[in-house]
Structure 1
Amino acid sequence: MMRVLGDKVDLDGLIADAVEEGRQVQVVRGGATKQATLEAFSDALNFPEWFGMNLDALADCLDTLARDSEGEWEIVWDDAAALREADPRAAAGIESVLADLDEDHPAVHITIINR
């Protein structure tokens, strides 16, 4: 399930609800550039050193994590609005990668917070 939420979200409450429902949660704090946002995904999700800092590499790493994950898993992309404002094309590309991940892996939940 992929959802997009506004800036009034209680992140701690969102995480607590997901954990209570049995999901592992990882929060990615976005940046104002594509590079900064990809670095945030890499850091938050502990991508391998070969991560190529592009959308194809993001898709590959997320797919691998989803296949290797046990149980349900949620990625929360917080502060997505900064990239959407600075580089709408890059934001749309990352959202597309996340939507594909969501479609291919039913145990993965995606939450995008626009603030």
Structure 2
Amino acid sequence: MTTFLGRHDEVDDHIITLVAQGADVRVVRAGTDKRTVLSGFAEALDLPGWFGHNWDALVDALRELSNDDARRIELVWDHAHELRETAPEIFALAVDILEQVADERDDLGVTIIDR
């Protein structure tokens, strides 16, 4: 499932609710171009060494993303506004990837914050 929040939504309350529901919340800053988007995911999610900093590798890494305690993972992709405005094609592709992987996994949710 994918949730979209804007700059006027109660983002902190949303994250607090996810944590209270037992989710393993992982916040990833959106970046400003393809390189910073992919680097943001790699750093925030501590992706494996084989991650090739390309879109296919991101799909594979998100498919394999796990945690030690089998809790639901909630990816919070934050500060996406600048990317959406300056590189809409990169934004759209990243959103498509996040939604695709979230649809494939019962244990993964995605929140996209456009602020």
Q: TM-score, normalised by structure 2?
A: 0.91
Once residues 79 and 33 of structure 2 are traced to their aligned partners in structure 1, the CA distance between those partners, rounded to angstroms, is 12
Q: Deviations over 1:60-115 (max 9, x none)?
A: 00000159871211000001111111111111111111111111002211000001
The CA deviation at 1:41 is 0.7
CA contact (8 A) 1:66 1:105 kept: no
Q: How many residues end up aligned between the 2 structures?
A: 115
One-letter code aligned to 2:21: E
CA contact (8 A) 2:76 2:113 kept: yes
Once residues 3 and 52 of structure 2 are traced to their aligned partners in structure 1, the CA distance between those partners, rounded to angstroms, is 27
Once residues 110 and 69 of structure 1 are traced to their aligned partners in structure 2, the CA distance between those partners, rounded to angstroms, is 19
The CA deviation at 1:58 is 0.5
1:113 corresponds to: 113
Q: TM-score, normalised by structure 1?
A: 0.91
Q: Secondary structure at the match of 2:52?
A: coil
1:9 aligns to 2:9 (yes or no): yes
Structure 2, unaligned stretches of length 5 or more? none
Structure 1, unaligned stretches of length 5 or more? none
CA contact (8 A) 2:5 2:11 kept: no
CA contact (8 A) 1:34 1:83 kept: no
CA contact (8 A) 1:29 1:40 kept: yes
The CA deviation at 1:10 is 3.7
CA contact (8 A) 1:66 1:108 kept: no
1:39 corresponds to: 39
Identical residues among aligned pairs (%)? 38
CA contact (8 A) 2:102 2:109 kept: yes
1:91 aligns to 2:91 (yes or no): yes
2:57 corresponds to: 57
The CA deviation at 1:13 is 2.2
